[in-house]
Amino acid sequence: MLLHQFLEEWAERTPDATALVEPARRTTYAELDSLANRFGHLYQRNGLARGDRVVIALENGVEMVAAYLGALKAGGVAAPLAGGARSDRLQHAIADCTPRVCVVDAGAARSLSLPSAGASAASHASADAHTVFVASSAPAAGPDDLHCALLDCPTDPLASNAADTDLAAIIYTSGSTGVPRGVMLSHRNFVANARSIVSYLQLTAADRVMCVLPFHYVYGLSLLHTHLAVGGSLVVENRAAFPNVVLEGMREHEVTGFAGVPSTFALMLHRSNLGAVELPRLRYVTQAGGGMPPAQITQWLERGPKADFYVMYGATEAAARLTYLPPADLPRKLGSIGRAIPGVEIQVTTEAGRRAGPGETGELVARGENISSGYWNNPEETAERFGPGGYRTGDLGYADEEGYLYLVGRRHDMIKVGANRVGAKEIEEVLHQHPAVFEAAVVAAPHPLLGEAPVAFVALKESLADAENALRAFCASRLAAYKVPVRVIKQPELPKLSAAAKVDRGALRAIAADMRLEAVS
């Protein structure tokens, strides 16, 4: 099974069914398939061969989805990235994956000194480099204008000799060093993971999911794959920073599903009229993209819509998903990430390389058809993270007596305070219990006596007098002394990675590295 065949199957079975809903337009399965075919022909006309890469830097919408699926139809490998003038991984990705074709929006074109619509693309590409097409708000006559180029391409199906082991996409994600690395994912990886998610969420063609997560982020991409797999619909909303707009869209379009990362739910809980919006069709909610504090989950269950809440855990290297916690188990297993999804095996492995016992901390190692083959152009890190035993996630955790998994932190998030090892996650969960805290993140800062010490960064949802001392005292009443942050830094909001609104811990580590902690007791 090839990933784009999900679309082709439903375009044939239910051509008039809605595939995508955007604020100003709806696109049927037949229309999406035809547009994807146009993109595929466009790529092949510009020299795309099996295995060549296509960089796509567009915001969520029918053009982005069709450009992505068209690359697969043409036998290419899609590299979806954030669009706009501040796309933080685009330049690195182009240099790294050497695409044959780039499809970018006008902002991304400007950031790379590429032509605006109407200018000649040929003058901006070397003989063996890429051809650039720019998606502009108004069609232009230039050879690089995407709209004009597509109109000249047929909607006929494309012949393909691709195999399910071929790469479908390279997804760029920040590594522990902060340098983006390209995760290689095949058609088989994506199809296996989509089918597993469809199984435990019990998705059907009647499902309609609200998409606020970008499709260049693997969690957002999994929403696209799973709903195309069942002939469902996706409601695209690119204004995630305005939670009331999102809620109104969920109500208007009668969505059955919603997916978010922890900051998504924080916004809805504290900066929206969540309790005032009726969502009778909402069937399920999924959360992944980082640990959501148990206190925040409890708030959502109390104040959010009455829909099944799935806590999930995954990685880009897993084509999105590794574990899920069934909603029925949430009350008695709060704080757990659940158990492995169908088709995946997860083992907790100690530093000595043996299987950890119940309650014993080790690294989570995963195996399954959804697991990536490694990192593009990075054999050293591929060898370190992927092997006969499976994919080493870098996440530390343990399994309880029933096999439910719990995370304690990432290997590089463990803080060595003197002779003690402290998990940032434990401190963050305590800070989130304080009624004034909106978001919290903890990183290590160099300390002249202890080696390292925890430093907390917080954003508040309400005023708090002498916030630093108040929050340190709050932690001291709940944590051992060596786990109490030596500093609590208040910020208007925590820095985010543009790909998924996840906290940018690299930026926080850089701030902490420059701190002078000698005078702090």
Distance (Å) of CA 267 to CA 58, 161, 272: 25, 46, 7
Of residues 147 and 178, more confidence is placed in 147
Please report which confidence band the pLDDT of residue 420 belongs to, taking 50, 70 and 90 as the band edges.
Answer: confident
pLDDT for position 111: 79
Residues facing residue 349 across a β-bridge: 355, 363
Residue 8: C-alpha distances to residues 22, 152, 195, 475 (Å): 21, 22, 16, 55
Is the per-residue pLDDT at 409 higher than 60? yes
32: pLDDT strictly greater than 70: yes
| pLDDT recorded at residue 520 | 44
Res 224 pLDDT > 80:
yes
Higher pLDDT, 128 or 498: 498
- Check whether 3 has a pLDDT greater than 50: yes
Q: Say if residue 119's pLDDT is above 70.
A: no
Question: What CA–CA distance (Å, rounded) separates 107 from 134?
Answer: 9
State the pTM of this model: 0.85
Q: What is the pLDDT of residue 175?
A: 60
Q: What is the mean pLDDT of the chain?
A: 91
At residue 127, the pLDDT reads: 33
Task: Check pLDDT > 70 for residue 499.
Answer: no
The answer to whether 28 and 119 have CB atoms below 8 angstroms apart is: no
Supply the pLDDT for residue 180: 86
Strand locations in 187-315, DSSP E? 208-211, 233-236, 257-260, 284-287, 308-315
CA-CA distances (angstroms) from residue 501 to 318, 453, 461, 494? 20, 26, 18, 10
pLDDT above 60 for 440: yes
The percentage of the chain sitting over the pLDDT mark of 90, rounded to a whole number, equals: 74
What's residue 140's pLDDT?
62
Continuous segment of H or E residues that includes residue 105: strand 101-105
Task: Compute the distance between CA of residue 386 and CA of residue 372 in angstroms, rounded to an integer.
Answer: 8
Report the Cα 454 to chain-centroid distance in Å. 27
Q: Is the pLDDT of residue 124 over 50?
A: no
Q: For residue 174, what pLDDT is reported?
A: 74
Average pLDDT over residues 429-448: 92
Residue 449's pLDDT is: 78
Please compute the mean of the pLDDT values over residues 126-155 and round it to a whole number.
78
Q: 234-253 burial string, b = 16+ CB within 10 Å, else e?
A: bbbbeebeebbbbbebbeeb
Report whether pLDDT(178) > 90.
no
Predicted local distance difference test score (pLDDT) of residue 116: 42
Six token digits for residue 64: 């982005």
What pLDDT, on a 0 to 100 scale, did the predictor assign at position 118? Answer: 37
pLDDT at 504: 85
Q: Regarding beta strands 77-81 and 284-287, do their DSSP bridges make them parallel or antiparallel, or are they unpaired? A: unpaired
- Per-residue pLDDT at 40 exceeds 60: yes
Round to whole Å and give the CA distance between 85 and 105.
9
Residue 89 pLDDT level (bands cut at 50, 70, 90): confident
State the amino acid at position 106 in one-letter form.
A
Average pLDDT over residues 322-345: 97
Q: How far apart are the first and last CA of the chain?
A: 61
Q: Give CA–CA dist 61/22, Å, rounded.
A: 7
Which sign, positive or negative, has the C-alpha torsion 406, 409, 410, 415? Answer: negative
pLDDT at 382: 96
Domains of the chain in start order, with CATH, are 5-10+27-183 (3.40.50.12780), 186-410 (3.40.50.12780), 418-513 (3.30.300.30)
Closest CA to 74 of 64, 86, 66, 84: 66
| Top-confidence residue, 325 or 109 | 325
Q: What is the DSSP letter of 355?
A: B
Contact 257, 282 (CB under 8 A): yes
Q: What letter does residue 137 receive in the DSSP assignment?
A: S
| Helix 218-230 with 5-13: angle, nearest 10 deg | 30
Flag whether pLDDT at 138 surpasses 70.
Answer: no
